[in-house]
A and B are shown apart, each in its own frame.
Chain A
């Protein structure tokens, strides 16, 4: 390596500077690439699960070759649970947390506030690579002798804590899972710290808090939630790891007989893990969805050509949701054996949190009234977001009530609910971001025709997948079952087959997206600086922006981000940095 030839020594240095880049734009793209890999993995895992649920004894080619658990290509019950665990963990942590928050946030937030970069570029670089390591560690769990972990993304103790006796997947697989999540927490803490400091300190001249774009507000609030949530999950992981490897008994009570062996632990409290986990776990739902709120509210005015209804109300609602998200974790534990009185206590804020959520939804719908819609793909995904968020949010009414949850808890009703409100809604938020910001990130436009096909097929597909799950839940169909051998559930298999077909169909529809993504990256038509006639600062600089974002100068901000439907000098909008005076809204 140490060849005297300078040209040789220079090149690797350059490569390293690219790989471990300190540029927030590169880091943001790295996050998005990582979550693209993750989402593909997670989706393939879900296909295997769906295939198994529909045709449990069906032989799946090549599967036997790549995994010890699926002997002869037939998915065993433990392998199904591993697929489920990995699907959940990968999707929640490495897609829904990284893409909308760390990914787009990193790329867009500094530009939207007129900064050259994040406050701590080194922390920023570290936060990505730490997250990357976490992902590698998690995937490594697939290939350990005792098999990949299978105690779900919630990793309830004692199953997750007692080790090998509790069955396959409870050896190294589960240990790697805990380590991976612990590392991930560190990455997210570094990221959140960066987002908060950047938003507070690096805003350019005139960029008052009131003038920050909604997406920046969302990322800022998400960072605050994340900071608190992950600094609680990290200790929880440390405790769980110690229980697994150091023989402590934080979560493991006395007198457990597992596989005919009396366990050496004593005195631990399984509910302690559930409390710590859900104190993180519920806010995590909003970490996944709030950036979507922000992105949709940022894009909606640009595609309706009118200001967002009640901008301040919207921000207050997000703040309220962030605050309330820390008072409701117990609603995941109505049936957990905690004091039944507290169930009532937790159910009230859980229902109250639907008020700010309902208000934001009404604000979006109200914004559509009297609009002049531009139906580009980003706009369509905004509308799709609103629709699925309503569907998922309303099924929350059922689960928020202990009395009804006592029937629906642990059934497919729950699966349908959180996939709509957390999974699909957030994914739609991500799609909005991709179709809207792709020109800014890569300097090329995406293909709109393909985009529209992608939307409509995906939109129909997700309803075909997740709406029926509510019906299954009403019929008492229990989730996390690798097969339906219980008499009263056998009748549900045809509906499960329908869902499987819908899932494969929707998955196939994503190929359109991948094709569009890669084709446009190199073949798309060259993008102008502001293809959508939008007002925020990222559209005042070139596409893609120069290394320092604004080419040596710092923009000065005169307006809020919401100046649409007005008589501006270059159309029905006013850029945030244009010095022209505040006009009277042209709306009637």
Chain B
């Protein structure tokens, strides 16, 4: 009796506090979140990726047994596309993310090729090479900067406050090209080597998804997520050889 009343009290306190913290959490506790997953593929002939000649920077060249290829259009098995960013462009966009996004320069490559971050989410850029790089995110909406990072100098920490797809380049090593995808949502996914992506933990409801590829541009689709269900969405880009 005494014990049960205590547990009831505890539940009330928990629930009420949870509710007071966030209505969403409260409903979520009753309704299971859904998932959107799918595949990115292309039709037509994509451009042939070229091998990168790193002869200029022996310290990097010797890190790669086989030559690194350019990454502007990376294809996977059965006409799938890698490095395509899929994100919620309309619908519940989730709260701001605070954990820092890490961007590495290793073997004169950008890892990952596309770094996705929310607005004002901290970004940390590291130089793991024995040579000095210069990071030049060529922002147009956000403010542009260009700074070199000698080996052994501390990480460059920064944030972007407006959504934008920012091409990133290193002038010292002209083949180094990557992207910062700054999104106004924290619900996003980047397609893997098999062109697969999945957005987990979406509250049930209607969403507009946008898929972005650096050469082929964007596509959007509407999707409805049911409680605990998994919606399938596929994007197909039209590829040209040149």
Contacts and interface: CB of A to CB of B under 8 A. Distances in A.
Given A259-B138, A260-B138, A485-B131, A71 B151 contact: no
A57 B131 CA distance: 11
A77 B136 CA distance: 14
B158 interface: no
A164 B147 CA distance: 12
Contact of B148 (A56, A72, A78, A485): A78
B230 interface: no
B67 interface: no
Contacts, number: 48
Contacts of A260: 138, 167, 169
Contacts of A354: none
B130 to A, nearest CB: 9
B150 to A, nearest CB: 6
Contacts of A56: 150
A485 B153 CA distance: 17
A555 interface: no
Interface in B90-130: none
B154 interface: yes
Contacts of B151: 57
A560 interface: no
Interface of A is mostly: loop
Interface string B153-173: 110100000000001010100
A76 B156 CA distance: 13
Contact of B132 (A72, A77, A168, A259): A77
Nearest to A72: B154
Interface string A474-489: 0000000001010000
A140 interface: no
Contacts of B154: 71-72
B150 A57 contact: yes
Contact of B153 (A71, A164, A261): A71
A164 B150 contact: no
Nearest to B143: A145
Contacts of B171: 167, 259
Contacts of B167: 260
A77 B149 CA distance: 9
B57 to A, nearest CB: 9
Interface in B54-92: none
A74 B169 contact: no
Nearest to A483: B132
Contact of B144 (A76, A164, A483): A164
A72 B154 CA distance: 7
Contacts of A57: 150-152
Contacts of A78: 134, 147-148
Contacts of B169: 259-260
Contact of B146 (A72, A167, A261, A483): A167
A284 B134 CA distance: 36
B136 A259 contact: yes
Contacts of B134: 77-78, 167
Given A57-B151, A71-B153, A261-B138, 17 more contacts: A56-B150, A71-B154, A76-B147, A77-B134, A77-B148, A78-B134, A164-B146, A167-B134, A167-B146, A168-B146, A168-B147, A168-B148, A259-B136, A259-B146, A259-B169, A260-B169, A483-B132
The 5 closest A-B pairs by CB, nearest first: A74-B153, A76-B148, A72-B154, A57-B152, A77-B148
7 contacts: A76-B132, A76-B147, A76-B153, A77-B132, A78-B134, A167-B134, A261-B138
